[in-house]
Structure 1
Amino acid sequence: MKPKRWPPRLNLMADVAIRPFLPQYLTQLPQVITGYTTSEIYAIAKDEWDTVVTFSLKLVSLPTPKTITYNHLDEAELARLGQIVAVGMSLGAFFEAQLVGVALASAEVWNSSLRVWELHVTEEWRGQGIGRRLMEGVVDTAVAHRLRVIVCETQSSNVPAIRAYRKLGFVLDGIDLSYYSNEDVQKEDVAIFMKRHLPG
């Protein structure tokens, strides 16, 4: 049975609760981690010489909007995410019993960072501040554990996510030209790392 779909413009935000994300909620993740649509991408260029190496990111418009649909949440991936959830630093946004947003995170002790592996809001509930509330909870978690930085990873094609992270206080801090495959640049799907530094 499909989950309830609630009209996003009704005044229901007061009834959306942010609370710890527990393993029993994992089966609801495919309803939230669905994908995105963009009409722009960041084109990546690299020039390398003996004395200088330069990277550039240029925002370019696409001739037609591009929709990416996530379909990677198989049994193995849910098991991996379950290990992250077991750490106890993940949050969910709930309307009644329905999961409408998620922030899955774990600490990387060696460099005192909090890695946000997944930050998503279901499409019907986007644009209402749920992502901000989830990130505020993530920040509180990082501060409570005396961590110095929050790290999020997205793709050069996911301009909506990059803009959302910037609004949440993140800056673009690095790129990896072969994080997903050896053809990431050709596929225009390069890993972008966003960071929010915390007061120390």
Structure 2
Amino acid sequence: MEIKPMNKSDYAGKKFTAHYTTNGYYDICTVKDGFRINYMPLDAPVEKSFDDVFFGEWLENPIAFGAFEDGRLIGYAEGSMETWNKRFRISNICIFDKTKRSSGIGTRLMEEMLKAAQSAQARMIVLETQSCNENAIAFYKKNGFAVIGFDLYSYSNTDPEQHEIRIEMGKML
């Protein structure tokens, strides 16, 4: 397995689908003086997925790294500097090959993103995940990220009922 920079001209705009399994979600509820977050297990595992594109047009000078095995892309991390607030945003980090998860590939991709953020002189590195992506949340926490915010209605007016609330996580550099 090799981690190497990805050429924007080869990948920009190409679609991909990321898949994950969840056994629970973080329930974020409003309470009298703020919010409460509780982990809620599901009765059975649920398969989730989302579609995206490499090098999204909304990114400001994105960079990306791929994890390749025998010429096949098995993992991907992408990010860009947000110059207006001096934060580096990881827009995607995923391991496409489920059999390769928990093998250190995500950690190596994260290390490349951290180096890129430091090279860009970012003050912080941030990312978005969903309250139902418990494995991603655990991975980010293991890598020193903490919850820095959330949006109860980022994706739809029924995000809380769907147990898919946008969570922002970050790490000061």
Alignment partners' CA distance in 2, 1:144 and 1:89: 12
User: RMSD in angstroms over aligned alpha carbons?
Assistant: 2.0
Confirm or deny that 1:58 pairs with 2:38: yes
**Cα separation, partners in 2 of 1:169 and 1:141, compared to 1, 3 Å:** same
Gap regions ≥5 residues in structure 2: none
Higher helix share: 1
Q: Which residue of structure 1 lines up, in the alignment, with residue 102 of structure 2?
A: 127
Alignment partners' CA distance in 2, 1:195 and 1:28: 27
Confirm or deny that 1:108 pairs with 2:82: yes
Question: Which residue of the other structure, out of 148, 152, 156, is the alignment partner of 1:173?
Answer: 148
Question: Which residue of the other structure, out of 108, 121, 126, is the alignment partner of 1:146?
Answer: 121
Confirm or deny that 1:44 pairs with 2:24: no
Q: Which residue of structure 2 lines up, in the alignment, with residue 6 of structure 1?
A: none
Alignment partners' CA distance in 1, 2:54 and 2:137: 27
Higher strand share: 2
Q: Which amino acid aligns with 2:64?
A: S
The TM-score, its normalising length taken from structure 1, stands at 0.78
Q: Which amino acid aligns with 2:160?
A: V
Q: How many residues align?
A: 171
Q: Which amino acid aligns with 1:98?
A: R
Q: Which amino acid aligns with 2:19?
A: G
Q: For residues 52-94 of structure 1, what are the alpha-carbon distances to aligned partners after superposition, in whole Å with 9 as ceiling and x for unaligned?
A: x311110111111111123x34xxxx3762664x824221111
Between the two proteins, what is the percent identity of the paired residues? 32
Alpha-carbon offset, residue 124 of structure 1: 2.1
Q: Which amino acid aligns with 2:22?
A: T
Alignment partners' CA distance in 2, 1:161 and 1:44: 17
Question: Which residue of the other structure, out of 93, 98, 106, is the alignment partner of 2:72?
Answer: 98
Q: Which residue of structure 1 lines up, in the alignment, with residue 139 of structure 2?
A: 164
What pairs with 1:64-103 in structure 2 (closer than 5 Å)? Answer: 64-70=44-50, 72-73=51-52, 78=53, 81=56, 84=59, 87-103=61-77
Alignment partners' CA distance in 1, 2:25 and 2:92: 20
Structure 1 residue ranges, 4+ long, deviating more than 6 angstroms after superposition: none
**Cα separation, partners in 2 of 1:94 and 1:27, compared to 1, 3 Å:** farther
Gap regions ≥5 residues in structure 1: 1-15
The TM-score, its normalising length taken from structure 2, stands at 0.90
Given that 1:20 and 1:88 are in contact with CA atoms closer than 8 Å, whether structure 2 keeps it comes out as: no
